[in-house]
Amino acid sequence: MTPEPTATHNAFSPDTASTRLHRALRVRLCEGGFTPGEVISIRRIASEYDTGTMPAREAVRWLVTEGALMFSDSRKIIVPELSHDRFHEILFARKNLETELSRHAFDDIVDADIDALEWIDQRINAAIAQGDLVDYMRDNYRFHFHIYRLSQSRVLLPLVEILWLQYGPSMRYICTRWGASSIADDYHREVTQALRNGDREGFCQAIAADIEQGMMLLE
């Protein structure tokens, strides 16, 4: 019932210490487990996740190539603080790609999926009611990717994952600043409703609206 807690991977990767850590860090980033500006030290990550320095180094550097982390001026690796422009660009790309991904997924969504989505949405609403940002971010991530993964996409899906990797830390930061009320009106109900009705375009538009709603927080 519970959706996959781990992020999918760009390509089939062997299951090594490096790839496991990479996946773990990806999920943590998407769920807002890091704050913008935070310094990510290879050796710290290694001890934190109880692996060697080598797997940590590879996992962290992979995240840099994905744009999820970056180098500071003094060559330290940090969680980037998104500029207003860049954040806006991410949401624009999200709206385009995720709407398309949803369109691809539509035909493969069965009733069990809609049940799962409604169940996740209930937890999201509960998290909002309690002002629990960590739960909210995790379940919101799972809500969207439950849909996107059904698309079976090998190209668009990895791109969208990259967007979420960059988006996660700043999103939590923004939500923290604005309080839980700022995310009170999502469009998840419209999403599941349209799915129940078999309304493809309504479904895609609800996804687009949900993402666009995120843009409002920036104005």
Per CB under 8 A, 13 contacts its own copies: yes
* Phi and psi angles of residue 78, each rounded to the nearest 5 degrees, phi first: -130, 165
7, 27 contact by CB (below 8 A): yes
What span, in angstroms and rounded, lies between the C-alpha atoms of 124 and 118?
A: 10
Choosing from 154, 179, 181, 216, the residue that interacts with its own copies (CB under 8 A) is 154
Name which of its own copies, DNA, none residue 66 binds, using a CB cut-off of 5 to 8 Å depending on partner kind.
its own copies
Name which of its own copies, DNA, none residue 55 binds, using a CB cut-off of 5 to 8 Å depending on partner kind.
DNA
Name which of its own copies, DNA, none residue 89 binds, using a CB cut-off of 5 to 8 Å depending on partner kind.
its own copies
Total residues interacting with its own copies, rule: CB under 8 A: 36
Which residues form the interface with DNA (CB under 7 A)?
A: 14, 16-18, 40-44, 51-55, 57-58, 60-61, 73-77
Give the per-residue contact string, 80-119, with its own copies (x = CB under 8 A; - = no). Answer: x----xx--xx-xx--xx--x-------------------
Name which of its own copies, DNA, none residue 5 binds, using a CB cut-off of 5 to 8 Å depending on partner kind.
none
Positions that interact with its own copies (CB under 8 A):
10-14, 22, 58, 61-62, 64-67, 69-71, 75, 80, 85-86, 89-90, 92-93, 96-97, 100, 153-156, 158-159, 162-163, 166
